[in-house]
Amino acid sequence: MTIDEELTLLDSQLRRLKIEYEIYFSNPTKKPPTDIEWKVLSLLRKFSDGSRISFTQRFRYNELAQRYAIYSDLWRKKSRIREEGYRRPQDALLSVQGVRPEGHESEHRVYGVGHAAAAAAAAPAPEQPFTVECSDVRKEHAQVEKLFHALTEAKKKSGEAVSGNLESFETFVQKKTAQLRKQYGCQSVEYTVEMQDGHVKLKAKAKT
């Protein structure tokens, strides 16, 4: 099974897990779907270091891992209410929402897995400048696609608006690369996505 197929399987298992938990919380006699959750966690752990996957695959993995972290936090809160019992009438509503208005949130294991560990697995790697080098953009579609995803992801994280699509971005990079190569007589152009003064910047630099 390829990495892309395993990520597709992870997505499918995560969707199934969400449905099974919804059934579990609506049925007092139902057991938690621990077997499916362990399958999800084993796949999350398998790719957690990011060393075996491409940038696009890592982007997809992070989205799935973050989704699981959000779900697991909700399930953890619902489970605590279910275990403690409904002390007040409004707790029945809270159990559906998965939110408690008061009380200290202590570390709680989601059926054998610490929530902190799950959140750590879902957390993206520390933000660092992303760099690619282009010389003939028409033959370097994969490089431009990685640059586009890095730029859009960084903007989303910083709350900045994302405009344009991959096609228009590729046209821009092609023109910019040709311009700088002609202007400086260089072989290639280095593009870098980085944070500067709280804003996402795309920088282009001639490379000899």
Domain residue limits at 95: 3-122
Q: Are residues 152 and 185 in the same domain?
A: yes
Give 132-178 pLDDT, tens digit per residue: 898 888 888 888 888 888 888 888 877 777 777 888 888 889 999 99
Q: How many helices (H) and strands (E) does the chain have?
A: 7, 3
**77 and 156 part of one domain:** no
Select from 106, 122, 138 the last residue of a domain. Answer: 122
Domain closes at, from 122, 144, 166: 122
Domains contained in the chain, number: 2
Same domain, 8 and 111: yes
Residue 20, number of CB atoms within 10 A of its CB? 18
Q: Which residue's entry shows tokens 């409004």?
A: 90
- Same domain? 93 vs 10: yes
Strand, helix or coil for residue 3:
helix
- Write the pLDDT tens digit of every residue in 31-80: 888 889 999 988 888 888 777 788 888 888 888 888 888 888 888 888 87
- Enter the pTM of the model: 0.44
